[in-house]
Structure 1
């Protein structure tokens, strides 16, 4: 288990995040140290290089809401629409934090090694989220409340739709409706395709 980040390091990460997101990777460590209220030398006691500091600031999970465990615990219980609406809003909030960081990392020029994460225990956060949602869908299929041949593909489509909404906001400052209305619309369309109860009614009607 990793050690808790010290208060000083947290302050540095927060300052670095603000400066990097505003000025890009070219921002100086001197600017970051000034923002954090420490000397540049103290900064490098916590982070060996500027790249280490940059990646730590972008990867830090501060402000990220964890929804996977709660969602899995709701499988077979309550209202699926409500479950997905709650998760959808949490995903949007997380994306509003994470997407600008991902874009900053990609634009930094830092080489990132590609990897096939299928079945890996060390999957990156976005892939873990996808499999968590897919596992929930799979559980609901077993309960007969959803009809879905490929839960992973269903999860990819659901999350991808949410990503595009935030992408438009971040890049173009554009949105058609509020996050709440958007999530409700996405869930409504999703359930129209995968609702187990509705599917049963259609099948029974076709037999008459």
Structure 2
């Protein structure tokens, strides 16, 4: 049998995806994991803390990728790096869309969740901020145009990924563009506005 912490994360991931974060109580998560609610709180300070650990440990990794790119921006070409970011961000938002969307049905829970997430130093703005930092590093290295608005470029890329997740989750909508086509197309389009202009 898996350790209690792993079972709790598995149960939380499953319940948050199927019934939504709002309805997945710590009592229900503990019951699904086969442990007591007290045991859950030995490993996680709150449901918000548990949610963040589900994002970090059970879903496609977005934050570490952006940190790695910022620390080592010259590993590949900028456009190739942006394709990698779009692929990972699209997978991340697709995996988290149903979990996060359920919060908006209950404003009081959304407010408590936002307060808890902010207290833990996280929030939905972090991927955009991290991508903008990476793009600023590329701008300083001269690999994107000097006047590039990195905040706008980051918002465009992440917004496209979130919109794709919404369309994929919406019942009866047209099939979304396959990720192998979507990622390079979005990266190429955004990079076209960032590319340094030839001198002269």
TM-score w.r.t. length of structure 1: 0.73
Distance 1:47 1:188, change over 3 A: same
Per-residue deviation at 1:77? 4.7
Question: Which residue of 1 is the match for residue 98 of structure 2?
Answer: 100
Question: Which residue of 1 is the match for residue 14 of structure 2?
Answer: 18
Encode CA deviations 1:20-79: one digit per residue, 9 max, x unaligned: 4323444676654443233xxx2234339xx944x3443222224120222113424531
1:23 and 1:77 map into 2 onto residues whose CA distance is 41
Per-residue deviation at 1:192? 1.6
Mapping for residues 3-152 of structure 1, pairs under 5 Å: 7-24=3-20, 25-26=22-23, 32-38=29-35, 42-47=36-41, 52-53=46-47, 55-60=48-53, 61-62=56-57, 63-65=59-61, 66-109=64-107, 110-112=109-111, 123-147=121-145, 148-152=147-151
Question: Which residue of 2 is the match for residue 3 of structure 1?
Answer: none
Does 2:147 correspond to 1:153?
no
Root mean square deviation, CA, Å: 3.1
Q: Which runs of 5+ in 2 are unaligned?
A: none
Contact 1:130 1:152 in 2 (8 A): yes
Distance 1:178 1:29, change over 3 A: same
Per-residue deviation at 1:177? 1.6
- Secondary structure in 1 aligned to 2:125? helix
Question: Which residue of 1 is the match for residue 194 of structure 2?
Answer: 194
Higher relative contact order (CA 8 A, sep 6+): 2
Runs of 4+ in 1 over 6 A off after TM superposition: none
Aligned residues: 185
Distance 1:144 1:33, change over 3 A: closer
- Secondary structure in 2 aligned to 1:200? coil
Question: Which residue of 2 is the match for residue 181 of structure 1?
Answer: 181
Q: Which runs of 5+ in 1 are unaligned?
A: 1-5
Task: Pick which of 127-136 and 104-113 moved more.
Answer: 104-113
Larger radius of gyration: 1
